[in-house]
Structure 1
């Protein structure tokens, strides 16, 4: 909840300055509880955020750890991976993995690095472009790029663990004429062929008339996902079984919501913790594939997919 580049800090949720003393912090917490409690007309989602914020900074030990890890105070924790790209470990992992192609989040990370340096200005050396304090001060569109890169990387880790029966393509170009038109992930497995969008809007979202809405939502994410899938399907001469939008757990009231068909494609909105379940069991109305067809679809995609 508080580790997204788009999320408010624990202090912002509680409505205080990061340097506030402990007694003032406690008073602010109690005030925010009263203001946001659902029984008094408050927002349930914000009420949960207030409670979580207090868990992170409500004691001196917890607060010190939070400050070190999120760029508050004199020094941040050098070991905190934060917003940096995932690092491959040297530990041997013998678990079977899905076959994976492309670089999840790579296009958005490259774009973020270019723009954050441009925003900082010429002649300014950025020792760490992922420093939490720097990210927090960056314009919203830069934080959004980084948040989406992190979301794609999180999805990639989940689908990788599905096993060798799955093949995944990341950061796929949907339209050669439009550099921003891409499909975050294509997942092929026993339950079908899916187009997947990984998002982080920085706050709660909900559905209205088959589309996502919320304070941080712009455009029509589901419609755009289906449009990108159709472009890839035409080029590769394949049929997608369904479309999946993956969001952080705390941004959804339900782990799995089947939206129905959008332009003829079954759509589901799922939390990260619910993604593996949907991939394994499939979706209502999604077309399962197997046998020689899996091989044929994989071959067609391998021959036509281009990466962003």
Structure 2
């Protein structure tokens, strides 16, 4: 079971409230097993999820340990020493040396959206002492938790990109010219110019007819289509062409890269486990010609002049 804030909690898998009694929890578990057992024609995957959920909260000790668990870095703000603030003068980065030049606030918009929705869900006048308290996060609706998971995903990607080296430049939370649309990361290096979407839906995904689908995604969700629209608007705004669009997901969300080949003016879309992202940004796509230093430098100046941030 994924530890992502966006993933279904053991309580949600068992269909009970986090405040359910031990007896209610036990009855829900037994009922789930009866409905999903493969021997009676049930769903083997749902049966397995129920067993894993019970392992997490089925005993008082296990339940107490799970309820105390804090999501990794869920309350941490991005390192201000790594990223230039969106309010900083254009062309000024806060850390150079061997690290990539970094601009913007990765995860900033997603975190703000999480906090806004959490306060709205809690109710007007309700005081929230710690918006990252584990019990509070788990009790929030999954669509709210998704924004926290997305913020953490963007911050994780930014940390990886920052280590690429001084030959790379990255901009985060980039406004895409559409109403409320943004591109999570724009990364420029010798291998090309990449638009990157960082996501975490709390479960595995697969590619179907050029779109990502999965149990954690709604039937009307179109992440690749939305990403292509935002990247297309940004490309037109900046007068640049992206080498590829990259969707970075947690490693447990997919085993191997998923590729939607480019057609006409549409760039290739590559969905990769986050552990493979750096190799793709550094080496580019197979058979792709690498840009010269002069072209990269010229393109970086154009991007630096034209990019605006979604939190400006």
Counterpart position of 2:259: 258
Counterpart position of 1:74: none
Counterpart position of 2:160: 158
Do the aligned residues in 2 keep the contact of 1:266 with 1:284 (CA within 8 Å)?
A: no
Residue in structure 1 matching 2:251, options 230, 237, 249 = 249
SS where residue 235 of structure 1 aligns?
helix
Compared with structure 1, are the counterparts of its residues 51 and 100 closer, same or farther at alpha carbon in structure 2 (3 Å cutoff)?
farther
Counterpart position of 1:282: 284
Structure 2: distance between partners of 1:2 and 1:204 = 9
Output aligned runs, 1:75-154, within 5 Å: 83-86=74-77, 88=79, 96-154=98-156
TM-score (norm. length: structure 1) = 0.79
How far residue 49 of structure 1 moved from its aligned partner, in angstroms, is: 4.8
Output aligned runs, 1:296-307, within 5 Å: 296-307=298-309
Compared with structure 1, are the counterparts of its residues 287 and 242 closer, same or farther at alpha carbon in structure 2 (3 Å cutoff)?
farther
Output aligned runs, 1:25-104, within 5 Å: 31=33, 35=37, 42-43=43-44, 49=49, 53=53, 56=56, 63-69=63-69, 83-86=74-77, 88=79, 96-104=98-106
Matched, 1:168 2:170: yes
Deviation per CA, 1:31-82: give whole Å up to 9, x if none.
49x8379xx87455x5775675566557876554323115xxxxxxxxx755
How far residue 134 of structure 1 moved from its aligned partner, in angstroms, is: 1.9
Counterpart position of 1:9: 9
Q: Which shows bigger deviation, 124-133 or 181-190?
A: 124-133
* Unpaired runs of at least 5, structure 1: 71-79
Structure 2: distance between partners of 1:94 and 1:100 = 9
How far residue 195 of structure 1 moved from its aligned partner, in angstroms, is: 0.5
Residue in structure 2 matching 1:231, options 206, 226, 233 = 233
Equivalent residues, number? 292
How far residue 290 of structure 1 moved from its aligned partner, in angstroms, is: 2.6
Report which structure shows greater RCO (CA 8 Å, sep ≥6): 2
Compared with structure 1, are the counterparts of its residues 62 and 273 closer, same or farther at alpha carbon in structure 2 (3 Å cutoff)?
farther
Structure 2: distance between partners of 1:48 and 1:98 = 43
Compared with structure 1, are the counterparts of its residues 169 and 6 closer, same or farther at alpha carbon in structure 2 (3 Å cutoff)?
same
SS where residue 261 of structure 1 aligns?
coil
Matched, 1:182 2:173: no
How far residue 138 of structure 1 moved from its aligned partner, in angstroms, is: 2.4
Do the aligned residues in 2 keep the contact of 1:15 with 1:28 (CA within 8 Å)?
A: no
* Unpaired runs of at least 5, structure 2: 82-94
Q: Which shows bigger deviation, 199-208 or 111-120?
A: 111-120
Matched, 1:215 2:215: yes
Superposition CA RMSD, Å: 3.6
TM-score (norm. length: structure 2) = 0.78
